[in-house]
Amino acid sequence: MDLSLSIVARDANQGLSPGLGLDGLPRPPPPKAKKHKKAVLFFEVEILDAKTREKLCFLDKVEPQATIAEIKNLFTKTHPQWYPARQSLRLDPKGKSLKDEDVLQKLPVGTTATLYFRDLGAQISWVTVFLTEYAGPLFIYLLFYFRVPFIYGHKYDFTSSRHTVVHLACICHSFHYVKRLLETLFVHRFSHGTMPLRNIFKNCTYYWGFAAWMAYYINHPLYTPPTYGAQQVKLALAIFVICQLGNFSIHMALRDLRPAGSKTRKIPYPTKNPFTWLFLLVSCPNYTYEVGSWIGFAIMTQCVPVALFSLVGFTQMTIWAKGKHRSYLKEFRDYPPLRMPIIPFLL
């Protein structure tokens, strides 16, 4: 029988009003049953050097819901020289890096988890890298276009070419890199905030070096226009403009797939914009349009360095496209089977 009912029954037998003691005063309420607190199971995390197996850090009483990002922050407190963006934590010394959003209790580890640390080296933000990569070619090309001193000889200082295609090429080249700079600032959303600092030197050597090589020949006083003249230039310009619009359209479509501040991944599909219909056939149409732009620029200028730049760029973008295509197939079971990485029906 319930305790409160027993008290009421007893009071009634003794002629007392329910809730009053023998002295007629209100009786205090019966004590509530104590609730037993659930015991929290904490984790212990030891972090070892992936190369030497030396113990670098031991974290006690780590919440089971802790993410890898939170563990990195805790690790930084004992080793400030390794800030979170510089850390790679993995379950196996030679395994893949764990994602920042991975939750500790969902990993295949016991209550004492062992993680292996690798130093990724000094990091730099992707935005800084892209701005540096793209601002360089824009500035360098203009130096050759305006024929600043010490490039072609004193008699050509600050002179201009008499060929229309040279001026058109400068407009196209400048437009391309201004577009890239603006997209970096206002369109692109990066899943990774940083990249190794050493990569900026390699990337800048590629972009800046090719820009100087192309600009030297296109703006040279002895440069000759394309073989088929205005017709060739007009065709090439049409290819360049269409591919630039297509590239921008794809970047906007990809941007709309990922809300600001998130790392959400979805299958990209065509929209009402006709330039996005290439998604029906390839996984990375932004690369397809990018290569097309440079092919158009090579046809327009009929310049060997531009053709080589297009070939090298195509090779690198094919590697990226294949990697992204494999990632899509692995992540999404319902991924469209007809798509190829970069070239419809071929590659």
Residue 265 CB contacts under 8 Å (≥ 6 apart), including other chains: 257, 258, 331
Residue 56 CB contacts under 8 Å (≥ 6 apart), including other chains: 47, 48, 49, 75, 78, 79, 117
266-282, pLDDT tens digit by residue? 899 999 999 999 999 99
219-240, pLDDT tens digit by residue? 999 999 999 999 999 999 999 9
Predicted pLDDT of residue 26: 62
Would the pLDDT of 36 be above 60?
no
Mean pLDDT of 47-67: 91
Backbone angles phi, psi at 109, to 5 degrees: -135, 160
Predicted pLDDT of residue 195: 85
Is 84 in a helix, a strand, or coil? helix
145-189, pLDDT tens digit by residue? 999 999 999 999 999 999 999 999 999 999 999 999 999 999 988
**Amino acid sitting at position 97:** S
How far apart CA 17 and CA 31 sit, in angstroms, is 20
CA atoms within a 13 Å half-sphere pointing along the CA-CB vector of 256: 10
How far apart CA 240 and CA 234 sit, in angstroms, is 10
What's the whole-number average pLDDT of the chain? 89
Would the pLDDT of 23 be above 60?
no
Sign of the torsion angle spanned by Cα atoms 66, 259, 333, 324: negative
Domains of the chain by range and CATH?
43-121 (3.10.20.90), 127-331 (no CATH)
How far apart CA 85 and CA 154 sit, in angstroms, is 49
Alpha helices, DSSP H, located in the chain: 3-13, 68-78, 126-145, 164-186, 198-218, 229-257, 285-301, 304-331
Confidence of residue 30 (pLDDT cuts 50, 70, 90): low
Would the pLDDT of 19 be above 70?
no
How far apart CA 165 and CA 117 sit, in angstroms, is 54
How far apart CA 174 and CA 70 sit, in angstroms, is 43
Region class of 302: left (phi > 0), else alpha (psi between -120 and 50), else beta: left
Predicted pLDDT of residue 3: 46
Confidence of residue 7 (pLDDT cuts 50, 70, 90): very low
The DSSP H or E segment spanning 57 is strand 55-62
pTM across the whole model: 0.81
Would the pLDDT of 8 be above 50?
no
Mean pLDDT of 60-83: 92
Which pairs count as long-range contacts for 7-10, CB under 8 Å and 24+ apart, including other chains?
A: none
How far apart CA 10 and CA 4 sit, in angstroms, is 10
Region class of 29: left (phi > 0), else alpha (psi between -120 and 50), else beta: beta
Percent of the chain with pLDDT over 70: 87
Confidence of residue 39 (pLDDT cuts 50, 70, 90): low
Mean pLDDT of 41-70: 91
Backbone angles phi, psi at 312, to 5 degrees: -65, -45
**Amino acid sitting at position 242:** I
Is 125 in a helix, a strand, or coil? strand
104-121, pLDDT tens digit by residue? 989 998 888 999 999 999
